[in-house]
Structure 1
Amino acid sequence: MHALGLPVRRKLVEAGAFAEAVRIIQFANSRNIPILLPKDFWCLNDRLKKPELVPVHGILEGKILTLLCLILLRWSPVALGPSSLEEITTLLSKSKKVVWIGPVKFGSSIQDSNGTSILVKLLRKLSQRNCDVTVVGNMACKALMGESAAFSSCNIIENVSVIWEFLKGRKLPGLMALDRGYPYTIDWHAIYADPTQPLLVDIGSGNGLFLFGMASKWKDTNFLGLEMNGKLVKRCLEAMHQSGLKNGYFIETNATSTFRSIVSGYPGELVLASIQCPNPDFNKPEHRWKMVQRALVEAIRDLLSSNGKVFVQSDIEAVALRMKQQFLKYGNGEFTIDHQEEWLRENPFGVQSDWEQHVLHRGVPMYRLMLSKSVR
């Protein structure tokens, strides 16, 4: 709210987070992602024991009391107001995935318990309607369980610090240890009709539109999608089975840490790896990217066949440039750019992902790059 110029009590503002908030707003605007802000609050001041409802623009106006002199008492928000709750519940009721991190309140109030109860009841209904609900943080989990003990359909994660590290794209030691201790063992013969065919791996395959198009077009190549969203993977596997195609498959995984373990056991050659429109993480001024990290680049470099290809693209030039830099930096001199122009004008495969179609429909350019592996 402070970054957008809305009135906020100075004591509630974390000064060091201002620049980060501005970057988040700019990124959201570039992707047409709405950010919902409160319209009203239940507020207190030093002289009031009962909260009063205050519109968001009235927070700094305060309340004037006449004693022997005029005293301006600033409002302190303690909970979301009814208009804010109504807008939030309307948005949530249309959602397929909800992540609730942290408490709803700023302080103790009777109105807050009512607001929390409204949200908890809505989340219970959503979770029963096949909405993926995750509640993160000790206070949020307590609020949830305090309203209802029957929340088996929700994901409950009390340790919020671990989630922040995961969302930042950090490598969590526990997950890395599990990947090393329990490497993937895959029956490739059960997956593909011919597991000796060349393999193309799409990292972050999303809803699988790109791989479905490629598998239909190139019957003499096998295609593997690696995707973290389990629901998308499930739908892709069902659609692949219904299509009758025997050269496509999807795995739910974090490819950053498991790519080497999965692909190293494939009987044939890895001829191409693609990374398309990864989500950037603007957590740091220098930008940290969730997906394209050194470990992934080195795994692709080591497993890719001689003269194999790497295709990357993004609708955000800084993301595409960062991916290019990562491959050239950690490729040990084995990657070269295939083309003379800075970015490829057209998709070299003639098959577009869903996000690529969305971007081009908006008239926004895609930044594409093709790299070749050439062992020195």
Structure 2
Amino acid sequence: MRLRNKPWAKDKLEQNPQYVIQDPAACRGKWSEVFDNQQPLHIEIGTGKGQFITGMAKANPNINYIGIEMQESVIVSALDLLIEEQLPNCKLLNSDAADLREFFSNGEVGRVYLNFSDPWPKTRHEKRRLTFKSFLDVYAEVLPEDGEIHFKTDNQGLFEYSLVSFSEYGLTLKYVSLDLHKSEFEGNIMTEYEEKFSSKGNRIYRCEVGYPARK
């Protein structure tokens, strides 16, 4: 999908440091100070326009949330939602997920959300998939022993690939749904893509996985 350029987006992100963290590396190990509380911290990688992360923050005020998105022209829409909702337990990072270890210390993040990630269907692009083993290594460092990854997609191929990737890595499958919207799962917060795809009759896949105990 071609993104509409928003040349003003960068300035707007910089003008709202109360929501968009300008130097996340300086916050490493200090996120409880940033939020001024001791609440659990959950992050979404590829937060898009922010419907999911702001919805989760609104529904769970006892949890801190950070939405991470590389595209300035996309994350600025998430900023608009935060300004409108004024959620004190939600922040944004205009950053690359590959840099997570620079932003979070070991075990600082309780849960990672991966929602409708780019499937990168070509085999030569496998390493770019957010469920590839190198990314699982990164998540392992920022998550505690009981940390979890919650994954949603409408792409069957990516879901099957991810289940295999999780299994080969040694992760524990805690929940799986092959048709989320026809399941008994409660409390689902939809993303923009989820609303779009499900309205067309696309099946939504979801799973929760946990890391094994470390030796």
Give the TM bin, normalised by the shorter chain.
0.7 to 0.9
Alignment partner, residue 363 of structure 1: 201
Q: 1:336 aligns with which of 172, 177, 180?
A: 172
Alignment partner, residue 159 of structure 2: 320
Counterpart residue identity of residue 304, structure 1 = L
Shift of 1:200: 0.9
Alignment partner, residue 12 of structure 2: none
Deviations 1:311-332 (A, max 9, x none): 11211111112222223323xx
1:188 aligns with 2:31: yes
Shift of 1:343: 3.3
1:261 aligns with 2:102: yes
Alignment partner, residue 218 of structure 1: 60
- 1:69-108 equivalences in 2 (<5 Å): 96-97=4-5
CA distance in 1, matches of 2:62, 2:177: 31
Deviations 1:136-171 (A, max 9, x none): xxxxxxxxxxxxxxxxxxxxxxxxxxxxxxxxxxxx
CA distance in 1, matches of 2:199, 2:36: 36
CA distance in 2, matches of 1:254, 1:210: 19
1:208 aligns with 2:50: yes
CA distance in 1, matches of 2:52, 2:24: 27
Dislocated runs of 4+, deviation >4 Å: none
Shift of 1:344: 6.0
Give the TM-score of the pair, scaled to structure 2.
0.77
**Number of aligned positions between the proteins:** 194
Deviations 1:35-84 (A, max 9, x none): xxxxxxxxxxxxxxxxxxxxxxxxxxxxxxxxxxxxxxxxxxxxxxxxxx
Contact 1:280 1:289 in 2 (8 A): no
CA distance in 1, matches of 2:45, 2:203: 21
- 1:59-138 equivalences in 2 (<5 Å): 96-97=4-5, 130=6
Deviations 1:321-362 (A, max 9, x none): 2222223323xx3x21113x6636345542111111111111
Q: Say which structure, 1 or 2, has more relative contact order (CA 8 Å, 6+ apart).
A: 2
Q: Check 1:183–1:199 CA distance in 2 against 1; reply closer, same or farther (3 A cut).
A: closer
Contact 1:96 1:131 in 2 (8 A): no
CA distance in 1, matches of 2:149, 2:186: 12
Counterpart residue identity of residue 96, structure 2 = N
Contact 2:159 2:205 in 1 (8 A): yes
Deviations 1:259-292 (A, max 9, x none): 1221227xx84221111111122344x7625232
Q: 1:306 aligns with which of 121, 145, 152?
A: 145
Structure that is richer in strand per residue: 1
Residue aligned with 2:201, SS: coil
1:274 aligns with 2:182: no
- Identity of counterpart residues, as a percentage? 20
Shift of 1:238: 4.1
Contact 2:4 2:73 in 1 (8 A): no
Tell which structure's C-alpha radius of gyration is larger.
Answer: 1
Gaps of 5+ in 1: 1-32, 34-91, 98-129, 133-181
Deviations 1:201-239 (A, max 9, x none): 111010010011100010110001111111222332343
